[in-house]
């Protein structure tokens, strides 16, 4: 069975490489009886992977049960898993069979295994290694043949190092690890998922689905999605139900995700020197200032291109490639030509012709055929600094000037905390 068929069968949406890799491992390990540990943040769909493994295994015709180990107290969880005898505890009026007995031959999915009480971990290890368990209140050893698939939203190895989880149980569960990627690492799948959820809503309530414009799509792709797929589905349903228009803009989307602009830029690695912001987070202020600076440079470049095209059209200038402003294309030497001093022979200006008292003259025409390469004066090219610190200083100075030295407003404009701005001013010795 190929991956596309599996996705359609189990409702898995997305084409990211990390998702496909995880699905491939699940399909390969499914025919075996090896224990599987599924790692991933809350809301990424770990239970769907456990169902895929069970459905593609030889146990597919037997029972499948999912249990959240963090949702039940210790005594209740023991009874659920291994059962209890009559009068085993107060209120136990009858004998109860546990899941390891009723699901014999099938699969048990233990979600949030890291939350399992330490006393129960040793009993689970015995089941995994010997296939044996004892009911609460009984001394009789019973056997079972159950495949265990566990899942966790924490780094279980860290719990082992901290003494919160048994090391032997960890390695017994982690025979085959599967890492389910968070939604923030699958940006190419976000819009596809949103359209699916919006389409399902529209089909259910007999209406047309909402659609995102380009800027709204970018906003979704750059959001961190701490709630992963669950959060995205909730947002899609809210937008579908509450939006007054069917074409959703970024501004409209922000009403439903007010935190979408918080830290929504790609993070810089610590190896590039990103320090810790006093407001929390690593290197965020350097990142935001850098991207703000690059965004302003892009706007300035676009304005410059428009200005050059307008001047060329107004003066009917012949560009070096022989095209007018309507067909303007980049010319490598244009910057040198624009800054060089022209000799008198570099242009022609026809004298005025007096005809019926109307002064007429032809426009200035720049020659494109230069037989003498020395007619341009040499221009020294100065390499622009690409230092992040230089960019920071320039943007901080601009912000302070714009807000007349008011640091609170300047910090808000830069997207950093006021305390961070104070530190940067002292670091760069900026007069404010």
Which segment, 23-37, 269-283, 320-334, is predicted with the most confidence on average?
Answer: 23-37
Dihedral over Cα of 213, 241, 10, 150: its sign: positive
Amino acid 319: pLDDT: 54
Amino acid 174: pLDDT: 93
d(CA 175, CA 36): 6
Q: Residues 35-80: pLDDT tens digits?
A: 999 999 998 999 999 999 999 999 999 999 999 998 888 888 999 9
d(CA 187, CA 133): 45
Coil, helix or strand at residue 183 = helix
Mean pLDDT of the region 188-213? 95
Long-range contacts of 299-306 (CB under 8 A, 24+ apart): none
Q: Residues 310-344: pLDDT tens digits?
A: 777 776 665 555 444 444 444 444 344 444 443 44
Q: How many CB atoms lie within 10 A of CB 115?
A: 19
Return the minimum-mean-pLDDT range out of 127-136, 190-199, 253-262. Answer: 253-262
Mean pLDDT of the chain, nearest integer: 79
Beta-carbon contacts of residue 34 (< 8 Å; ≥ 6 apart): 175, 176
> What are the C-alpha distances in Å from 265 to residues 192, 257, 291, 358?
21, 15, 8, 61
Amino acid 276: pLDDT: 39
Answer with the residue of higher pLDDT: 409 or 123. Answer: 123
Amino acid 383: pLDDT: 55
Amino acid 297: pLDDT: 73
Q: Residues 136-145: pLDDT tens digits?
A: 988 899 999 9
Answer with the residue of higher pLDDT: 199 or 272. Answer: 199
Amino acid 431: pLDDT: 76
Domains of the chain by range and CATH? 3-181 (3.40.50.300), 184-254 (1.10.8.60), 293-375 (no CATH), 388-428 (1.10.10)
> What are the C-alpha distances in Å from 50 to residues 47, 82, 111, 395?
5, 21, 10, 51
Amino acid 125: pLDDT: 95
Q: Residues 361-409: pLDDT tens digits?
A: 444 444 444 444 444 445 444 455 556 777 788 888 888 888 888 888 8
d(CA 143, CA 125): 14
pTM of the model: 0.59
d(CA 77, CA 99): 10
Residue 32 φ then ψ, to 5°: -95, 180
Distance separating the N- and C-terminal Cα atoms of the chain: 67
d(CA 218, CA 220): 5
Amino acid 286: pLDDT: 54
Amino acid 376: pLDDT: 46
d(CA 351, CA 361): 7
d(CA 253, CA 194): 12
Q: Residues 205-256: pLDDT tens digits?
A: 999 999 999 999 999 999 999 999 999 999 999 999 999 899 999 999 999 9
């Amino acid at each position: 069975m190929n991956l596309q068929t599996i996705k359609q069968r189990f409702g898995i949406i997305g084409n990211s490489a990390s998702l496909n890799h995880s699905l491939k491992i699940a399909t390969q390990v499914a025919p075996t009886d090896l224990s599987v540990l599924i790692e991933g943040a809350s809301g990424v769909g770990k239970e769907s992977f456990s169902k895929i493994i069970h459905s593609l295994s030889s146990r597919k015709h037997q029972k499948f049960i999912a249990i959240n180990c963090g949702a039940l107290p210790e005594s209740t969880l023991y009874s659920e898993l291994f059962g209890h005898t009559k009068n085993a505890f107060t209120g136990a009026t009858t004998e109860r069979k546990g899941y390891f007995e009723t699901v014999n031959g099938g699969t048990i999915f233990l979600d949030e295994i890291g939350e399992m009480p330490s006393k129960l971990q040793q009993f689970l290890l015995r089941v995994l290694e010997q296939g044996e368990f004892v009911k609460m209140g009984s001394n009789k050893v019973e056997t079972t043949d159950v495949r265990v698939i566990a899942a966790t939203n924490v780094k279980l190895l860290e719990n082992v190092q901290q003494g919160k989880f048994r090391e032997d149980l960890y390695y017994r569960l982690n025979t085959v690890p599967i890492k389910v990627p968070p939604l923030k690492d699958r940006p190419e799948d976000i819009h596809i998922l949103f359209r699916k959820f919006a389409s399902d809503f529209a089909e259910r309530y007999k209406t047309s689905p909402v659609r995102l414009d380009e800027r709204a799509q970018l906003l979704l792709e750059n959001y961190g999605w701490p709630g992963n797929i669950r959060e995205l589905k909730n947002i899609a349903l809210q937008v579908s139900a509450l939006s007054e228009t069917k074409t959703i803009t970024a501004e409209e989307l922000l009403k439903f995700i007010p935190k979408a602009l918080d830290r929504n830029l790609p993070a810089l690695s610590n190896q590039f020197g990103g320090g810790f912001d006093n407001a929390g987070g690593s290197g965020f202020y350097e990142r935001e200032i850098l991207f703000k600076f690059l965004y302003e440079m892009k706007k300035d470049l676009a304005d410059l291109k428009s200005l050059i095209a307008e001047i060329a059209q107004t003066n009917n200038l012949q560009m070096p490639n022989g095209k007018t402003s309507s067909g303007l294309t980049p010319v490598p030497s244009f910057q040198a030509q624009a800054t060089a001093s022209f000799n008198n022979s570099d242009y022609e200006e026809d004298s005025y012709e007096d005809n019926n008292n109307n002064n007429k003259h032809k426009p200035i025409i720049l020659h494109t055929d230069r037989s003498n390469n020395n007619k341009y004066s040499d221009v020294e090219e100065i390499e622009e600094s690409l230092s992040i610190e230089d960019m920071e200083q320039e943007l901080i100075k601009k912000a302070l000037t714009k807000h007349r030295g008011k640091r609170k407003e300047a910090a808000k404009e830069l997207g950093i905390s006021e305390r961070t701005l104070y530190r940067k001013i002292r670091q760069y010795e900026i007069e404010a």
